[in-house]
A and B are shown apart, each in its own frame.
Chain A
Amino acid sequence: MTVSEFAEKSGFAVFCRGEDRAVESGYCGDFLSNIISRAPDSCCWLTVMNNVNVAAVATLIDCACIVLCEGTEPDEAFYKKAQELKLWVLGANENVFEACKKVVKLCNV
């Protein structure tokens, strides 16, 4: 499933839109060292971290989209950087586990 379809079907908030592409896997984590070395390509990355470094790491791992969980919203610097890097940033009110279940169900990953 593509990120735009996923965004619509999941009901997650859309903070930032990037180029549309398929979600092929998933990864949950907040420590950037773990994410950068372990997250698979084209994944949906679920985190509660909210700072500009999330955007930099998302580009480096080439993830399909970021899902900020537990009602996290990107701050100003994060939002600006995400736009600049053309990243998809979604927002879920659910916790990471519940949001993850939606990714599994909808994207079949």
Chain B
Amino acid sequence: MQCIRLEYDVDGENFSSAGNASESVKRTLKQMGVAPGSVRRVAIAMYEGEINMVIHAHGGKAVVEIYPERVDIYLKDSGPGIENIELAMKAGYSTATESIRSLGFGAGMGLPNMKKYSDEMRIDSTVGVGTTVFLRVNFE
């Protein structure tokens, strides 16, 4: 079965475009008639991942593959990497600065939300090289 492949450059310098990729994916899924609950889960998981690339990794690339029964999302950045993934996954853990927190980010709920709203999640990260996050959301 053929899939629809969408690619986005996620700008790490520009906060005003943060969320655009997630918004575009959400719109596409909605137009395709995907169940609202599934659209919502994809939007949450992807938004958190997209924001992480912006606030922690100077941006990156998002590739989204839409299949009839699921969505696969690859978020790839060349940022600082995550030293301790287990710690980073803890609810409330955040290294975000005060200025980032003043924008409403940095609650330390991004990775836990991504885990909660996806069916599969993998993080590959090397300190000093970058991070790739894989997210799969199966449609209900």
Stretch at the interface among A15-23, A33-41, A64-72, A94-102: A33-41
Extra A-B contacts (18), CB below 8 Å, given A34-B107, A51-B15: A32-B51, A32-B104, A33-B48, A33-B107, A36-B47, A36-B48, A37-B109, A37-B117, A53-B19, A54-B104, A56-B19, A56-B47, A57-B19, A57-B104, A59-B19, A59-B26, A60-B19, A60-B23
Question: Do A31 and B104 contact each other (CB < 8 Å), given the known contacts A51-B15, A57-B19, A59-B23?
Answer: yes
In the docked arrangement, what's the CA distance between A34 and B91, Å? Answer: 12
Flag if B107 contacts A32 (CB, 8 Å).
yes
In this complex, the interface size class of chain B, counting residues with CB under 8 Å from chain A, is: 20 to 34
Taking CB atoms, residues of chain B closer than 8 Å to A37 are 44, 109, 113, 116-117
Does A104 belong to the interface (CB within 8 Å)? no
Mask, B98-122, CB within 8 Å of A = 1, is 0000011101111001001100000
User: Which A residues are CB-close (under 8 A) to B16?
Assistant: 52, 77, 81
Which residues of chain A are near B105, meaning CB under 8 Å? Answer: 32-33, 53
Does B138 sit within 8 A of A, measured CB to CB? Answer: no
**Bound CA–CA A60/B109 (angstroms):** 17
In the complex, chain B residues 11-57 whose Cβ is within 8 Å of any chain A Cβ:
15-16, 18-20, 22-23, 26, 36, 43-44, 47-48, 51
Q: Which residues of A contact B (CB under 8 A)?
A: 30-34, 36-37, 41, 49, 51-54, 56-57, 59-60, 77, 81, 85
B18 engages A53 (CB within 8 Å): yes
Residues from chain A with Cβ under 8 Å of B103 in the complex = 49, 51, 53
Of all chain B residues, the one with the shortest Cβ separation from A85 is: B23
- Return B26 CB to nearest CB of chain A, in Å: 6
Closest CB of chain B to A37's CB: distance in Å? 5
Most buried by B among A31, A54, A56: A56
> Is the Cβ of B15 less than 8 Å from the Cβ of A53?
yes
Q: Contact between A30 and B104 (Cβ–Cβ < 8 Å)?
A: yes
Closest Cβ–Cβ distance, residue B22 to chain A (whole Å): 6
Chain A residue at smallest Cβ distance from B46 = A60
> Who on chain B is nearest to A29 by CB?
B104
Q: Could you list 10 A-B pairs, sorted by A, with CB under 8 Å?
A: A30-B104, A33-B48, A36-B44, A37-B44, A37-B116, A51-B104, A53-B105, A57-B47, A57-B104, A60-B44
The complex places the Cα of A89 from the Cα of B108 at a distance, in Å, of 27
